[in-house]
Structure 1
Amino acid sequence: MQPFLVTGGTGKLGRAVVQRLDDGHREIRVLSRQAQPPASPTEYRHVVGDLRTGQGLDAAVRGVGAIVHCATTYGKGDITATRNLIDAALRRASTPHLVYISIVGVDVIPVPYYRDKLAVERMIADSGLPWTVQRTTQFHDLVASFFAWQRRFPLTVTLQRFRFQPIDVRDVADRLADLAVSDPAGRAPDIGGPQVRDMRDLATDYDKAHGLRRRVVPLRVPGRIARGFAEGANLVPKHVVGTFTFDDFLMEQRKDHGE
């Protein structure tokens, strides 16, 4: 059985993907920029490679049957990183199945980060490698982070007419692992979480879960980006995956922090 390589395998999504791919028989490689000795004899194999420069990627991809590409950054880093990964795979890995995680609405909402993700999608499709792209809605923790950085403020600011369909990272990991062991699918059907929620409602639930008594103030935002969110380009209500809601996430988070 050929090895699997997971980029971004030390991040939250990547770690969950690695755990789901581990059936006790597969060799799983986790790409890291620095050497990381295993914590135990059964720890996943960390291979050293830098997506930004391409250094070490030839050895990391050599012989792999599938690559789950979870690594991401901001700016133009995703484009450079993916180009380096594809080039290494074409040189050393004998056309592995490349699975990429993207975002619902990248082709409609003109956020600069989304444009880069769309460029990466197109690069993968044109690479000559067998490929699958899975777009998902925002993760629970990303939505929560918007409110978390405001916790010291006397009020909570939201964006008027913005709605989200947050999904649990573990449900996404399940899907990516299934795709990695299956035949290439091209553009897989988009997936989203179990509920479409108004941003103001999400903020109210966040504040309540953390014992915060603050006024929630919707801010009107003009422009094409705001229009894309207002029109629901980031939503896929007919393609629900999982049952773990944003409120479930908040409850779990409180338990994890002993609140």
Structure 2
Amino acid sequence: MPTYVYAVTGADHPLPLHDLTGVGDPPTPLRALRADGLAAVAGDAPPGLRAKRRDVLAHQGVLEALMRDGATLPMRFGLVGPDDDEVVAALRREADVYRERLAELDGHVEYNLKAVRDEADLLREVVSDSAEIRQLNEQTRADEGDHDKRVALGEMVAREVTTRHQREADEVASRLAPAATRSHLADPGPQQFLNVSFLVPRTDADTFVAAVRQEADRRGDAYAFTLTGPLPPYSFV
């Protein structure tokens, strides 16, 4: 039977599996598969498993419970191995890598930060700072029928917006980096200029959150920061 894998821990990690509720309806019992000083927390994979709210929350609940007792390598929702033997074989094959990651993540959590900037505010800045864009903008207003100039203006503004978004993303990430152990930049979503995850010592979480608030205040009302966490450190596994 296929095996659903929740996480990898050290073999001496507390595993109160009888107190945890896994995925599936009814939930499948959890078990520990051990090899080379490691344990994979697993269960039978329910047939036709999809990312329903109940199952996603169950998966998250297992990870959060494990993380409270020590370093845990969280697996993403829906990770399924062919069977228990194959999962154990993977533990043996990647044992050194897993132990290295567990040591790195010990005592850490993840925070994800997304940021957007008001578009009108950014465009005003772009036009104000560029004489070339300002001049071309005035020309297109005077002659709305000049298609080539409108296209050129749009391309220039788009390039400048992209450049400024990248610069601001680098600036925010760099200013917050000292409050974290590591960071991981991901592709921002629509309208966002920043999507970054930080690996933060659990004991320093309040300090990190305060640093994010300070940065948001410094940027002003034209910016909106969304901080999510603490989370299992998915981005650093």
Provide the TM-score with structure 1 as the length reference. Answer: 0.22
Larger radius of gyration: 2
Provide the TM-score with structure 2 as the length reference. Answer: 0.24
Which structure features the higher share of helix residues? 2
